[in-house]
């Protein structure tokens, strides 16, 4: 079924390049800094990403967001470290 985000063939919106990067990695764990994520997606993360855990946890509460669709569609979970400004993406 073309266009289905869950099967990896659909668009994941503005975070599609993050999806592609995570999807194409063979490693079970990928660690990216906020700067690396911004370089991948081509724009600055919103201010909330730097100070609000909820921005990163949205996908774990059942609420889908553009950013959580990117890693969830790539079969990953996200664990953020706001102080270190990095995210551990692990294969789900």
Give pLDDT tens digits for 28-72: 999 999 999 999 999 999 999 999 999 998 766 667 889 999 999
- The count of structural domains within the chain is 1
What's residue 64's pLDDT? 80
Q: How many CB atoms lie within 10 A of CB 90?
A: 15
For 14, the domain range is 5-91
pTM: 0.84
Of 73, 86, 89, the residue nearest 36 (C-alpha) = 86
To the nearest 10 degrees (0 to 180), the angle between helices 34-41 and 16-23 is 110
How far are the Cα atoms of 5, 15, 18, 38, 56 from residue 34, in angstroms, in the given order? 24, 13, 12, 6, 12
């Amino acid at each position: 079924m073309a266009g289905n985000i869950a099967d990896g063939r659909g668009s994941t919106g503005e975070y599609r390049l993050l999806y592609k990067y995570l999807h194409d990695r063979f490693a079970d764990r990928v660690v990216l800094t906020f700067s690396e994520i911004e370089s991948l997606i081509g724009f600055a993360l919103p201010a909330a990403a730097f100070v609000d855990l909820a921005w990163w946890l949205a996908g774990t509460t059942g609420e889908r967001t553009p950013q959580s669709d990117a890693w969830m569609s790539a079969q990953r979970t996200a664990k953020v470290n706001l102080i270190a400004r990095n995210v551990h993406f692990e294969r789900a």
